[in-house]
Chain A
Amino acid sequence: MPSKTRVGGLALGLALLLAITLVSQSPSLTLLSREGRRPIALSLVGDREFVGLDDLATAFQLTVREESGALTVSYKGRTIVLTGEQALASIGGRLVSLPARPVRSGSRWLVPVEFISLALASIYDVPLDLHRESRLLVLGDLRVPRVSIRHEPLGNAARLTIDATPRAASVVSQDGTRLTIRFEADALDVTPPPIQSQGFVLAVRVVDPSTLAVDLGPRFGGFRATSEGIDTTTRLVIDFMGTPTDAIPGAPASASPPSPPALPDLRPPASPITTIVLDPGHGGSEKGATGPGGTLEKDFTLAMARRLKATIEGRLGIRVILTRDDDQLMSLDDRAAVANNNKAGLFLSLHANAAPRPDVAGASIYVAAFSEQDLAGARLVPERVPLFGGGLRDIELVPWNFAQMRFIRQSAEAARLLEGSLRERVPLVTPAVASAPFRVLESANMPALLIEVGYLSNPSQEKQLANSDFQTVFSQAVVDAVTSFRDQLAAGDGAER
């Protein structure tokens, strides 16, 4: 007599039945979806992992029916037929090999875990992606990069190389005795390896779905993180350096220790840019532009600036200061003053644009513009002032609102590099670089750009600007441009600071 089993609540009783068979429990499979995470129990039959059809039925709204020794798994009119006799599944008449045949365990049927990717994924209407190593089952279009970790002891230093495929940006920050590496992803397909510690890195752990933690050892004195894209992989390299008095623990305090082998110098080179000031445009009662969907420019610029700050600090180790870190009204002079007073090496004012016609879209980069009259008016004769202890000295007085004049060439170069970095990644207007008499740039006493990330007045771009992936891609492009600009300055190409 056919028995139709709509499996939903067998749970506890069936688990007891399992216990008396040859089947034993093993770590669970984690089902990851937009709604969250939930475990699906795995069972070991021999050395192979199986999953209960009843659990799959509950998780994916399947109907499982047993008739004449055949199992029929149905979903929205599509079926898979299995038997306990063969390691085969028939999917709409097409036969698929399974690594093992289904196994009965009490009143339950267990199928090899590969059934999910080999058979169930074929009839389900949402992508199912099984990550065997990390026991993740991803439902839907989520970002779950595969992450591999390699640890290299280097004597007086150590290096972690972390590859994420497909590409995923990450932010590295130190929190006491551990580093956290937060990936722009919904989860990670990762199995942290054991670490042969030499005192810099003790362990690498997964602390939440998208975050790794690196436990730091007693020899840790500092770190430097760099990131680059290699094909479809983002490679994050973290170099760990010792303290100035670092010595290998347990080493004998002999009078004449052998000379250590030559090691690579992992200290970061002196950077011509030690501070960057990011200026989230507008704020408080000055809302800036408003998108048709209600997005306020002042909110977007603050979110973008926070993300960019984290990316720059994580990748380049450069101090980043925001002109505002909350929703406050701030004058344009005060914004430039934050950059000038902190001796920033670069000032980036972040904005979202609006145009009279809704189809205008794309990012643009502005440098300050000065008229011939401005340039003539700013040519001041140096002023001679007395010094303490006697003597005179010529000092150059620069009018506050013309401070940017000395940096126009460097600003234009930074804009060119940023355009090149953005071009392949985000839409740009034509031309992407322009000059305009923008007040916030004129008083900046360092290379300065105003970046319009996109057009809020364009309905589709308004949604794009709010997208986390877009913001990440844009931030990465800015960081790459900052890196190139910094390197050019370090090479002495027009460095002012």
Chain B
Amino acid sequence: MTGPRWVPAAGLALAGALLGWVLFFGLPTWYGERPRPPGTPASPVPAAQGRRIKARLFYVAASGSKLTSVEQDVPYGEGTIEQAKAILMAQIAPPSPPLASAIPPGTALRALFVTQDGEAFVDFNAAFMTAHPGGSLNELLTVYTVVQALTTNLPLVSAVQLLVDGKEVDTLAGHVDLRRPLANDPGWVE
């Protein structure tokens, strides 16, 4: 007994569609963007031209000892990873006075990916560490600027692990444990 002649063709089409989904949607979601050579900035966010969303970005509070959040327009990004990149690019950009950022000058985003468990791995260039002024409070504010920016604006991101130059680091300036992802901590925000 033989089946209809369209069955093999339909099977091939289905396999092709599946392969396409894996290549163009699945893999980027699972693994994100591969780390780039040092000094190469992340690619511009592929977003709908001119479309923007509201996001809460984090800056040093007037008290100087905590963060404060400010709502700002950031470019729209298609999917969690692209949106996370758009938010971080806005977050690490030097703010206009009187806002002050806890992100060291010269910091650039190298790569970012998000696991299915909602853990974001954010890879910054070396300036993120070498230009850091030191002090545990400065370090906490720097780290939680990134953690809060992603976990507050992206419901699918529950924790953030920071990498520098594509590698895990123990700490940024000798205090905060960066060997594992850090969850949202509203205690560092006024």
- Nearest A-chain residue to B60, judged by Cβ: A356
- Nearest B-chain residue to A436, judged by Cβ: B140
Stretch of B25-33, B40-48, B170-178 contacting A (4+ beta carbons < 8 Å): B170-178
Report chain A residues within 8 Å CB of B183.
371, 373
Of B63, B138, B180, B187, the residue contacting A354 (CB under 8 A) is B138
CB distance from B173 to the nearest CB of A (A): 8
The answer to whether A124 has its CB under 8 Å from any CB of chain B is no
Cα distance A205–B141 in the bound complex, in angstroms: 54
Among B148-190, those with CB < 8 Å from A are 159, 170-171, 173-177, 179-180, 182-183, 187
The answer to whether A224 has its CB under 8 Å from any CB of chain B is no
The answer to whether A438 has its CB under 8 Å from any CB of chain B is yes
Report chain A residues within 8 Å CB of B141.
356
Q: What band does the interface of chain A fall in when counting residues whose beta carbon is under 8 Å from B?
A: 35 or more
CB distance from B163 to the nearest CB of A (A): 16
Report chain A residues within 8 Å CB of B65.
355, 360, 429
Q: Are B177 and A438 in contact (CB under 8 A)?
A: yes
Report chain B residues within 8 Å CB of A429.
65
The answer to whether B133 has its CB under 8 Å from any CB of chain A is yes
The answer to whether B136 has its CB under 8 Å from any CB of chain A is yes
Q: Are B133 and A289 in contact (CB under 8 A)?
A: yes
Give per-residue flags for A275-312: 1 if the beta carbon is below 8 A from chain B beta carbons, else 0.
00000011000111110000001000000000000000
Q: Are B134 and A436 in contact (CB under 8 A)?
A: no
Q: Is the interface of B mostly helix, strand, loop or mixed?
A: loop
Of A355, A439, A456, the residue contacting B64 (CB under 8 A) is A355
Q: Are B64 and A438 in contact (CB under 8 A)?
A: no
Cα distance A332–B172 in the bound complex, in angstroms: 12
The answer to whether B102 has its CB under 8 Å from any CB of chain A is yes
The answer to whether A462 has its CB under 8 Å from any CB of chain B is no
Give per-residue flags for A330-360: 1 if the beta carbon is below 8 A from chain B beta carbons, else 0.
0110000000000000000001111111011
The answer to whether B137 has its CB under 8 Å from any CB of chain A is yes
- Nearest B-chain residue to A349, judged by Cβ: B175
Report chain B residues within 8 Å CB of A356.
60, 64, 100, 102, 138, 141
CB distance from A438 to the nearest CB of B (A): 5
CB distance from A454 to the nearest CB of B (A): 11
CB distance from B115 to the nearest CB of A (A): 14
Of A289, A331, A374, the residue contacting B135 (CB under 8 A) is A289
- Nearest B-chain residue to A360, judged by Cβ: B64
The count of residues in chain B whose C-beta lies closer than 8 Å to any C-beta of chain A is 27
Among B122-138, those with CB < 8 Å from A are 133-138
Q: Are B170 and A439 in contact (CB under 8 A)?
A: yes
CB distance from A293 to the nearest CB of B (A): 15
The answer to whether A49 has its CB under 8 Å from any CB of chain B is no
**Assuming A281-B174, A436-B140, A438-B176, is B134 touching A288 (CB within 8 A)?**
yes
Cα distance A366–B187 in the bound complex, in angstroms: 14
- Nearest A-chain residue to B177, judged by Cβ: A439
Give per-residue flags for A453-491: 1 if the beta carbon is below 8 A from chain B beta carbons, else 0.
001110000000000000000000000000000000000
Report chain A residues within 8 Å CB of B134.
287-290, 297, 354
The answer to whether A437 has its CB under 8 Å from any CB of chain B is yes
Cα distance A353–B141 in the bound complex, in angstroms: 12
Report chain A residues within 8 Å CB of B138.
289, 354-356
The answer to whether A450 has its CB under 8 Å from any CB of chain B is yes
The answer to whether A442 has its CB under 8 Å from any CB of chain B is yes
Of A282, A286, A354, A434, the residue contacting B133 (CB under 8 A) is A354
Cα distance A354–B180 in the bound complex, in angstroms: 24
Among A366-387, those with CB < 8 Å from B are 366, 371, 373-374
- Nearest B-chain residue to A435, judged by Cβ: B187
Q: Are B137 and A354 in contact (CB under 8 A)?
A: yes
- Nearest A-chain residue to B171, judged by Cβ: A439
Cα distance A440–B173 in the bound complex, in angstroms: 12
Q: Are B177 and A288 in contact (CB under 8 A)?
A: no
Cα distance A440–B171 in the bound complex, in angstroms: 10
Cα distance A438–B60 in the bound complex, in angstroms: 20
**Assuming A359-B64, A371-B183, A429-B65, is B176 touching A353 (CB within 8 A)?**
no
Q: Are A351 and B136 in contact (CB under 8 A)?
A: yes
- Nearest B-chain residue to A430, judged by Cβ: B65
Q: Are B133 and A332 in contact (CB under 8 A)?
A: no
Q: Are B136 and A436 in contact (CB under 8 A)?
A: yes
Cα distance A401–B187 in the bound complex, in angstroms: 23
- Smallest CB-CB A-B distances: 6 pairs: A354-B135, A357-B64, A289-B134, A439-B177, A289-B135, A360-B64
A-B contacts, 22 listed (Cβ < 8 Å): A286-B174, A288-B173, A289-B133, A332-B171, A351-B136, A351-B175, A354-B138, A355-B65, A355-B135, A355-B137, A356-B64, A356-B100, A356-B102, A356-B141, A401-B179, A437-B177, A437-B182, A438-B136, A439-B171, A439-B176, A439-B179, A457-B133
Taking Cβ atoms with an 8 Å cutoff, the residues of B that contact A are 60, 63-65, 100, 102, 133-138, 140-141, 159, 170-171, 173-177, 179-180, 182-183, 187
